[in-house]
């Protein structure tokens, strides 16, 4: 079977042309077609000779993710169930805002971890996504939005969050390679400041990540005490809070210009007391950080209840006033169609 061209780095495409005795700048032309113009078929490329394109087409094809289902929330959030070449399915979400458009990208089919509040965690883990499937989600959404050949100020899709299905640090190599392509200035040219990777706390990969990438890092902390985090995020039994924070100190030393986002899901009676807020301040105080309070999004069969907005505001105020830390409350988007954080699961 032919390879998806989206699995190749720029260097690989360059070597491909050089092996054909073609000039290396053909790779630049092809790259521009793929990632600036958003070409859908190799045959449409009109500044490289047909003979050369035929050679490209004998090795590669431009892969497409097909839609199995699409839903639009009343707030404009869109969710697609996308079918991969082997028939497996993933979800991708687009969240429009007045000043930006964000895509929430999946990194795996399912997830090996089973955080007790997360819908994706109830699915069986199936496999990692390859690079063409990660990039394919962004390309798919750009096609849907007709967001190619834009002038920069008109770009609809501006932000990327790795917060869809899966744990991105368990698919580390493909995610990092995909980020390199997403931020390539001669291609899709996403700003590094507008890409955020969220991890449940895979310590060894946090240490690798500080060397390999300077996109933003978000940590799914969710609890300030190990007893609680052990239950919410079972990975905590392997890498408990203090071990996680030690790795984050290393990260901050290397990436001192970056602010870490700590995600904290608000669950009624579980992690939303003032005692929790006090401990959270203690943990986070040493970091250049912001706290993102996430009202729990419920899903069919979940055992938790969201904290009341009143309690979330009390918690937030305490963190701001006593901890002098930045805390924001994430408004649920697309929750009427199960497109909000943690509600993703193949239908």
Catalytic residue IDs: 91, 341
Ramachandran bin of 297, using left for φ above 0, alpha for ψ from -120 to 50, beta for the remaining angles: beta
Among 128, 171, 213, 220, binds ligand SAH (CB under 6 A): 220
Binding of ligand SAH at residue 272 (CB under 6 A)? no
To ligand SF4, the closest distance from the beta carbon of 190 in angstroms equals: 22
Closer of 62 and 291 to ligand SAH (Cβ): 291
Q: How far, in Å, CA of 247 to CA of 289, rounded?
A: 15
Nearest to 195 by CA among 207, 213, 210, 174: 213
Nearest to 162 by CA among 120, 197, 127: 197
To ligand SF4, the closest distance from the beta carbon of 166 in angstroms equals: 6
To ligand SAH, the closest distance from the beta carbon of 215 in angstroms equals: 14
Query: Which residue's structure tokens are 């408004």?
Result: 331
Is there a contact between 138 and 182 (Cβ–Cβ < 8 Å)? yes
Q: How far, in Å, CA of 102 to CA of 156, rounded?
A: 9
To ligand SF4, the closest distance from the beta carbon of 47 in angstroms equals: 42
How many CB atoms lie under 10 A from the CB of residue 221? 29
Radius of gyration of the chain (CA): 21
Q: What, of ligand SAH, ligand SF4, none, does residue 163 touch, CB below 5 to 8 Å by kind?
A: ligand SAH
Binding of ligand SAH at residue 118 (CB under 6 A)? yes
Closer of 297 and 346 to ligand SAH (Cβ): 297
Q: What, of ligand SAH, ligand SF4, none, does residue 221 touch, CB below 5 to 8 Å by kind?
A: none
To ligand SAH, the closest distance from the beta carbon of 109 in angstroms equals: 13
Binding of ligand SAH at residue 297 (CB under 6 A)? yes
Among 190, 209, 262, 296, binds ligand SAH (CB under 6 A): 296
Q: How far, in Å, CA of 124 to CA of 110, rounded?
A: 6
To ligand SF4, the closest distance from the beta carbon of 259 in angstroms equals: 21
Residue ranges in the chain assigned as alpha helix (H): 10-19, 25-32, 50-59, 131-145, 172-182, 203-212, 226-232, 241-254, 274-284, 309-323
Q: Provide the β-strand partners of residue 263.
A: 220, 292
Closer of 102 and 220 to ligand SAH (Cβ): 220
Q: What, of ligand SAH, ligand SF4, none, does residue 296 touch, CB below 5 to 8 Å by kind?
A: ligand SAH
Closer of 130 and 220 to ligand SF4 (Cβ): 220
Q: Count residues near ligand SAH (CB under 6 A).
A: 17
Q: How far apart are the first and last CA of the chain?
A: 29
Dihedral of the CA atoms 181, 186, 187, 190 (nearest 10)?
Answer: 70
Query: Which residue's structure tokens are 């394109």?
Result: 53
Binding of ligand SAH at residue 339 (CB under 6 A)? no
Q: What are residue 72's phi and psi, to 5 degrees?
A: -125, 130
Binding of ligand SAH at residue 263 (CB under 6 A)? yes
What are the residues binding ligand SF4 (CB under 6 A)? Answer: 111, 113-115, 118, 120-121, 166-167, 200, 220
Binding of ligand SAH at residue 167 (CB under 6 A)? yes
Q: What, of ligand SF4, ligand SAH, none, does residue 114 touch, CB below 5 to 8 Å by kind?
A: ligand SF4
Closer of 62 and 118 to ligand SF4 (Cβ): 118
**What does the binding site for ligand SAH look like in residue numbers (CB under 6 A)?**
117-119, 163, 167, 198-200, 220, 263, 265, 294, 296-297, 341-343
């Amino acid at each position: 079977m032919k390879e998806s061209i989206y699995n190749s780095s720029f260097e690989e495409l360059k070597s491909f042309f050089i092996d054909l005795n073609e000039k290396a700048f053909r790779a630049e032309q092809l790259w521009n077609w793929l990632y600036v113009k958003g070409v859908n078929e190799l045959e449409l490329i009109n500044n490289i000779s047909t003979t050369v394109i035929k050679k490209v087409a004998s090795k590669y094809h431009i892969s497409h993710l097909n839609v199995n289902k699409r839903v639009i929330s009343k707030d404009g959030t869109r969710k697609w169930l996308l079918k991969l070449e082997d028939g497996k399915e993933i979800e991708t979400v687009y969240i429009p805002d007045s000043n930006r458009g964000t895509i929430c990208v999946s990194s795996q089919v399912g997830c090996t971890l089973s955080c007790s509040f997360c819908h994706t965690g109830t699915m069986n883990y199936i496999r990692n996504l390859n690079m063409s499937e990660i990039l394919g989600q962004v390309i798919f959404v750009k096609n849907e939005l007709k967001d190619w050949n834009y002038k920069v100020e008109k770009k609809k899709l501006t932000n990327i969050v790795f917060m869809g299905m899966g744990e991105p640090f368990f698919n580390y190599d493909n995610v990092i390679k995909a980020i390199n392509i997403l931020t390539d200035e001669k291609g899709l040219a996403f700003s590094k400041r507008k890409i955020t990777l969220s991890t449940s706390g895979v310590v060894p990969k946090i240490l690798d990540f500080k060397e390999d990438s300077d996109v933003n890092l978000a940590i799914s902390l969710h609890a300030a005490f190990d007893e609680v985090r052990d239950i919410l995020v079972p990975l905590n039994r392997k890498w408990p809070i203090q071990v996680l924070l030690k790795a984050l100190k290393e990260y901050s030393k290397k990436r001192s210009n970056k602010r870490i986002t700590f995600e904290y899901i608000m669950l009624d009676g579980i992690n939303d007391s003032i005692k929790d807020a006090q401990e959270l301040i203690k943990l986070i105080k040493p970091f250049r950080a912001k706290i993102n309070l996430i009202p729990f999004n419920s899903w069919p069969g979940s055992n938790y209840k969201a904290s009341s907005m009143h309690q979330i505001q009390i918690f937030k105020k305490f963190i701001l006033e006593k901890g002098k830390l930045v805390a924001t409350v994430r408004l649920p988007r697309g929750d009427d169609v199960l497109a909000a954080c943690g509600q993703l699961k193949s239908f």
